Amino acid sequence: MSIHTEIKKVTTETLRKMKQKGEKITMLTAYDFTTAKMVDAGGVDTILVGDSAANVMAGYSTTLPITLDQMIYHAQSVVRGVQRALVIVDLPFGTYQSNPEKALESAIRIMKETDANAIKLEGGAEAADAIKKIVDAGIPVMGHLGLTPQSINQFGGYGLRAKEEAEAEKLIADALLLQAMGCFGVVLEKIPAALAQRVTAQLAIPTIGIGAGVHCDGQVLVYHDMVGMNEGFAPKFLRKYLNLYTEITGAVSTYVKDVKEQNFPSVSESY
């Protein structure tokens, strides 16, 4: 029997054992109670309350505007819908970059006010002081390297990262540093598959890929993208398992038609 099926509640230790056994880890985002309940029931191992909520829930073009209070609200909603999956919450932009004390305060608020299981933050050596402070306080931390969306203005776009050897070597060094500081895992976003394979082989902690090839220890997608709710968003790494945009707009159109033509509610739907 796989670890995935025998575990009643996924923990960071579960993920470590899955890597050791070569069992792939699954992760999806969720930002609300109803979605979290469905994603958890579907058997996903980890749920990320991502700062991508700024994009898919609030309509911003970047993840930068979302606040700590808003992330806490989303995380509270998600945790109430989850029984089994490990729930990880993003520290949003501006809550950990300025100093380690603020980083720890932000992480403590998330853990105390949401009952989530872990936090995630972006960056390698430049985030080291913040990560160490949080880990030393007993809070599980997942790292995030490669394309780090909170640095999008510095990058100048959402293109592939670490194509050149210098950036690739820094990413490997950062991944090893994150492990040494006690991170329980690391997200690798939009980097060459061969580099992700190198990093994964060198780490004892699991890697979770998005646009980073099949050799990562696990995969993550944004739920809204995976079920096809975002029309027109189709990066190379995305596989759409449904086309809910068409399904939902079609259902709404039918509802509008039924109401206009007095076909809804029917006699059987009236009191």
- Active-site entry in 122, 189, 231, 269: 189
pLDDT of residue 155: 81
Look up 23 and say whether it is catalytic. no
Whether 159 has a pLDDT exceeding 90, the answer reads no
Q: pLDDT (tens digit, 9 = 90+) per residue, 191-246?
A: 999 999 999 999 999 999 999 999 999 999 999 999 999 988 889 999 999 999 99
Confidence of residue 146 (pLDDT cuts 50, 70, 90): very high
The radius of gyration of the chain's CA atoms, rounded to the nearest angstrom, is 20
Q: Quick one: residue 89, left, alpha or beta (phi over 0 = left, psi -120 to 50 = alpha)?
A: beta
For the entire predicted model, the pTM comes to: 0.96
Whether 40 has a pLDDT exceeding 80, the answer reads yes
Distance CA 239, CA 112 (A): 35
Token code pair at residue 208: 């979770």
Whether 7 has a pLDDT exceeding 80, the answer reads no
